[in-house]
Amino acid sequence: MRIAFNNAPDALVSQLGTLGSQQYRLQNQAATGKRISQLEDDPTAMRQVLNLQTQESQSTQYRHNIAALQAQANSSANAIQGLHKVSSRAGELATLANGARSPTELQSHATEVTQLVRQAVQLMNSQHQGDYLFGGTNTAQPPFVAVADANGKITSVTYQGNDAVPAAEIAAGTTVSVQVPGANTSGSGATGLITDSRNGADFFNHLIALQNHFGAGDTASISSADIPALAQDEDNITLQAGNNGIIQTQLLAADSVAAGQSLSLKQMISQNSDVDLAATLTRLSAAQTTFQAALQSGAALIGQSQSLLSYLR
C-alpha cells in the first residue's frame, strides 16, 4: 500500500510515540525492579499480584494481632503468678491455725491476711498499655475495689468488671482471647480468676473470712471451712496459669505459621511482579537504539520533504 508523502510526518510522530512509551516503560522497570506497575502492563499478572498482596496484608495483620496478644498474655501471666504466691501464703497461714496459737499470733496472722488481700487487689488491678487486664471488656476502671473499716481491716472487695472477654483473629477463622475476667457468676463463658460460680472459687471473700476468723481466734472455722475453700481458689488460679501457658504456646505456633505464609506470599509477589534486570536492560538498550534510528530516519525524511518543496517552488 502506498502512503501519501504528506502523511509521513504523522506516521513518524505516531511511531516515535510508540517507541518512546516502550522506552519509558523499560526505563521504569529497570529503575523500580518491577515488571508491572499498572493494570495495562499485564492485566492477568496484576490481578494475581493484587490478590497475593491482599493475602500478605492479612498475614501481616495476624502477626500484629498475635504480638499484641502475646504482650497482653505476658502481663496477665505475671499477675496470675503473683496471685498464686498470695494464695500459697494464705494456705500456709491457714494451716498454721491447726496448732495451739496464742491470741497475739492469731492477730498477727489476721494482719498478714489483710495485707494479702490488699496485695491481691493490686495484682488484679494490673494494667497493660493503660487497660485493666481483669475487668472483662470494661477496661477503663479498676476491676476490684476494696473497702476497709476504721481499723484498716478489709470488710469487702467489689468487682466492677464484667464476664465478657474480647478476642482477636490470629488466622483465617481463628480468634483467641488472652484476657480472663476477674469474676464470672453466670455459669457459662470464660472462667473467673477470683470468683467463679462453677468451681466454688471466691478468693477475696475466702481471704476476708480467714482474716476475720484469725482475728476472732476461731481456729475451728479455719480448719473446717477456710482451708477447703482456699484450696478451691488455688486450684482455680493454677488452672488459669495453665490456660495462659497453653494460649501462649498457641500464639507462638500461629505466629510461626503466619510468618511462613507471609514470606511465601512475598516470594510469589516477587515472582509475578519483579523484572529480570539483565533482560530488561538488554531490551532497553535495543529500544533506545531503535528510537535513535527512528529519529535519524525521520530527520532525513523531513529533510527530503523540504528539498522537494523547494524544488517545486
**Residue 21 pLDDT greater than 60, yes or no:** no
| Residue 302: all three cell numbers together | 523531513
| Residue 95: all three cell numbers together | 494451716
With H, G, I as helix, E, B as strand and everything else as coil, classify residue 54.
Answer: helix
Of the given ranges (41-50, 138-147, 223-232, 302-311), which has the lowest mean pLDDT? 302-311
- pLDDT above 90 covers a percentage of the chain that reads 63
Q: Once rounded to an integer, what is the mean pLDDT over residues 241-252? A: 96
| Residue 277: all three cell numbers together | 534486570
pLDDT score at 149: 96
Q: How far apart are CA 277 and CA 108, in angstroms?
A: 80
pLDDT score at 277: 43
pLDDT score at 248: 96
Q: How far apart are CA 138 and CA 79, in angstroms?
A: 18
- What length does the chain have? 313
**Residue 23 pLDDT greater than 80, yes or no:** no
**Residue 210 pLDDT greater than 60, yes or no:** yes
pLDDT score at 269: 72
**Residue 230 pLDDT greater than 70, yes or no:** yes
Q: Once rounded to an integer, what is the mean pLDDT over residues 176-203? A: 96
Q: For residue 208, count other CB atoms closer than 10 A to its CB.
A: 20
Of the given ranges (2-11, 122-131, 229-238, 289-298), which has the lowest mean pLDDT? 2-11
Q: Once rounded to an integer, what is the mean pLDDT over residues 112-123? A: 98
| Residue 128: all three cell numbers together | 497493660
Distances (CA, A) of 232 to 91, 92, 163: 11, 14, 20
Point out which residues pair with 157 in neighbouring strands. Answer: 146
The pLDDT confidence band at residue 263, using thresholds 50, 70 and 90, is confident
Q: How far apart are CA 229 and CA 205, in angstroms?
A: 10
Of 122, 110, 123, 183, nearest to 149 by C-alpha is 110
Single-letter code of the amino acid located at 9? P
Look up the pTM and report it. Answer: 0.74
Q: Once rounded to an integer, what is the mean pLDDT over residues 91-100? A: 88
